[in-house]
Amino acid sequence: MKQAKVRLYVEHPLGEGQTVPLDRDQAHYLFGVMRMAVGDPVLLFNGRDGEWRAEVAEAGKRGGVLTCAAQTKPLQMPPDLWLLFAPIKKARTDFIVEKAAEMGAAKIMPVQTAFTNSERIRQDRLQAHAVEAAEQCGGTFVPEVCDLQKLDRLLADWPEGRQLMFCDEAEVGAAKTLGAAGAGPWAILIGPEGGFSEEERARLQALPFAHVVSLGPRILRADTAAVAAMTVWQQALGDWG
C-alpha cells in the first residue's frame, strides 16, 4: 500500500465509500503540482469527520474525484480555548493565526483595542492560513477565525462561565493563578504592540473572570507573546499533559 504524502482539507462529508469532488484549485495542486495520478492515496479531513485515507478515482486539469477508503484518525477536538489578539503587521498576524491553529486554539478572534494599528483584516485569508496550518500539523479540526471586533463590545457580551487569561506586560511577576482557577472554557488575550490603554487595563483587572498573567520580565512582541501564552495555558490546563 502506497503511503499518502498529501493531506488535504475539504468541505465535503467524509465516510467509507464516499466520493469527494475536487474543485479546480484542488485538482491543480494534486495533479499539476504534486503529480498525483489515478490510484494514488491522499489523506482528507473536513473538521467534522476525522481523517480519511482516500484514493484518486478521476484526475483532470479542471477537477477530479477522490474516494474514501478508511478512517485513519477520529476527530480530535482541541480544548475550549479562544485566542484574542490585536492584529499587527500582515506577516506577523499570519504567524499568530498559524501557530494558534497548530497549538490547539478552538477559536481565533482578532480584536480592536485602543492602540490597535490595523482597523481591518482579511478574514477569509486568515481562515485559509488556519486551514493550511491544520493540514501541515496533522490536526483534524480547523479553528474558526472570526472577523475583527472591538474589545470593549466583546467584553460587554462575554459568555458566562468562560475565564480570561489577560497577559499584561505591566504586571511583571504577577502570580499565575491558572491552575487554581480550574479547567473549563477559557480565552487568552494578547495586547497590541503599543500595549493596553490605562482604561482597558483597569477594566480588565476589575473583571471577575479575568486572571492577570505575566509572561516574564521582558516585553515580548505580540506574535511571540501569543505562542508563549498558549504554551503557559496548555501546560497548566490544556491537552499537552
Dump pLDDT digits (tens) for 42-56.
999 999 999 999 999
98-to-1, 25, 38, 73, 213 alpha-carbon distances in Å:
32, 21, 32, 22, 23
DSSP alpha helix (H) spans, 157-221: 178-181, 198-206
Tell me if residue 214 falls in helix, strand or coil. Answer: coil
Amino acid, single-letter form, for residue 127: Q
Amino acid, single-letter form, for residue 107: K
50 phi-psi bin (left φ>0, alpha ψ -120 to 50, beta other): left
**pLDDT in the model for residue 176:** 54
DSSP alpha helix (H) spans, 79-197: 90-103, 123-137, 151-156, 178-181
CATH number, span 81-237: 3.40.1280.10
Q: pLDDT exceeding 90 applies to what percent of the chain?
A: 74
**pLDDT in the model for residue 175:** 46
pLDDT, tens digit, for every residue of 194-225? 888 999 999 999 999 998 888 888 888 999 99
Pairing label, strands 144-145, 163-167: unpaired
110-to-85, 89, 94, 106, 149 alpha-carbon distances in Å:
5, 13, 11, 14, 7
Domain ranges of the chain: 7-73, 81-237
**pLDDT in the model for residue 241:** 64
**pLDDT in the model for residue 27:** 96
pLDDT, tens digit, for every residue of 152-176? 999 999 999 999 999 887 665 544 5
Q: What's the CA gap between 196 and 190, in Å, rounded? A: 9
Q: What's the CA gap between 182 and 165, in Å, rounded? A: 12
With contact defined as beta carbons under 8 Å apart, do 51 and 71 qualify?
Answer: yes
Neighbours of 118 (CB within 10 A): 15
Query: What is the topology classification, in CATH, of domain 7-73?
Result: Ribosomal Protein L25; Chain P (2.40.240)
| Regions of the chain where pLDDT drops below 70 | 170-180, 241
Q: What's the CA gap between 149 and 116, in Å, rounded? A: 11
The model carries a pTM of 0.91
Rg (CA), the chain: 20
The answer to whether the 7-73 and 81-237 domains have the same CATH topology is no
For the chain, helix, strand, coil in percent to 5 are: 30, 25, 45
